Structure 1
Amino acid sequence: MLIRVLFVCLGNICRSPMAEAIFKHMLEIENLTSIIQVDSAGTGDWHIGKQPHRGTRNILGNKGISYKNIYARQMEKNDWKKFDYIIVMDEQNIKELQKLQSNKGMTIARLLDFVEGSQVCNVPDPYFNGDFEYAYQLILSGCQHLLQFLKESHQLTDKER
């Protein structure tokens, strides 16, 4: 069994690469990298090929999380078929993806939808507000809950690892 997760935000240089790096880090710790694959993309094409934003690199570096080999890319048609879960950072990302959606059966969810009782629905874009720490805390929580959801939904036990 292989589970594929794609994180999506606007430009793929702040939030979604942060989520990709955090989630990969969690998967390594839990020894799940052979079962769950993760990537990130943006709805826009402004930053294709660029490293994550300096603020994202700084916060990840300070937390000891690698962002090696993460470069911005735009959502592609093939992504609809390739990934099992498309996880966005905010409501605007959902609207943009719905315009592009080629697979009407695909479920798109906000990352914070996995955090039961969360007072926040959208991860604010630190590209515009500069608050990378707040984005990190929200994304970390969302990733922890998403991983728990995947483990429960797919009955991932120690025997399967």
Structure 2
Amino acid sequence: MINVLFLCLGNICRSPMAEAVFRHMIKEEGLEQNIIVDSAGIGDWHEGNPPHRGTQNILKKNQISFDGIVARQIKKQDKDDFHYIIAMDDQNIHDLNEMIPNMQGVIVRKLTDYVADESVMSVPDPYFTGDFDYTYELIKEGCRTFLEQIKQEIRKEG
């Protein structure tokens, strides 16, 4: 089983969008028995809340379920529970390392590491930009490429 955690600032826009998109892709590929996905935020401001209305709208528009997704803050236990932590920007990674030092054994990357356009350094936060469409497109591309990498891992192990 491969465990993936998507991470952003408040866990109501980008990381729950990535969780929902990735979960949808996993289901389409029939890999629900191989991959577990979750999301969290650096802060606890929105803990217990559903995704932002803009995130809900873009997911509904693309027929992607966000059932059961609620905001939570990242916790120390996550470094033991997840193989991958996929952050939305450099600040998320910096804050993660401040909150949970010694992330040995966890692969920490940015989602944009899986986006073809190397000039894109982070997934912009639509909470501030208002551009949920662009964020969705970046997340979809990054998740697709990341899933292809994981599928190769599963093939090697299987």
- Distance in 1 separating the partners of 2:66 and 2:116: 28
Q: 2:55 maps to which residue?
A: 56
What SS does structure 2 have at the residue aligned with 1:64? coil
Residue number in structure 1 paired with 2:131: 131
Amino acid paired to 2:120: V
Contact in 2 for aligned 1:11/1:45 (Cα 8 Å): yes
Q: Is the 8 A contact 1:7 1:41 kept in 2?
A: yes
Q: Report if aligned partners of 2:115, 2:138 keep a CA contact under 8 Å in 1.
A: no
The 1:55–1:43 alpha-carbon spacing in structure 2 relative to 1, beyond 3 Å, is same
Query: In 2 relative to 1, CA 118–39 (structure 1 residues): closer, same or farther, beyond 3 Å?
Result: same
CA RMSD of aligned residues (A): 1.4
Partner residue, 1:45: 44
Is 1:67 the counterpart of 2:66 in the alignment? yes
Please give the TM-score of this superposition, normalised by the length of structure 2: 0.95
Identity percentage of aligned residues: 52
Q: How does 1:84-99 map to 2 (within 5 A)?
A: 84-99=83-98
Q: Determine helix, strand or coil for the equivalent of 2:155.
A: coil
| Moved beyond 6 Å, runs of 4+ | none
Secondary structure of 1:39's partner? strand
Give the superposition deviation at 1:117.
Answer: 4.5
Shift of 1:84: 0.2
Matched residue, 2:17: 18
Q: Distance in 2 between matches of 1:5 and 1:127?
A: 23
Q: Which runs of 5+ in 2 are unaligned?
A: none
Residue 141 of structure 2 aligns with an amino acid whose one-letter code is S
Q: Is the 8 A contact 1:80 1:102 kept in 2?
A: no
Question: Structure 2 CA distance, aligned partners of 1:96 and 1:53?
Answer: 22
8 A contact 1:126–1:132 mirrored in 2? yes
Which deviates the most, 20-29 or 102-111? Answer: 102-111
Map of 1:120 onto structure 2: 120
Distance 1:90 1:24 in 2: 21
Q: What amino acid maps onto 2:108 in structure 1?
A: I
Q: CA deviation at 1:28?
A: 0.5
Moved more, 106-115 or 28-37: 106-115
Which segments of 5 or more consecutive residues in structure 1 lack a partner in the other structure?
none
TM-score, structure 1 normalization: 0.93
Give the number of equivalent residue pairs. Answer: 157
2:16–2:51 CA contact under 8 A, matched in 1:
yes
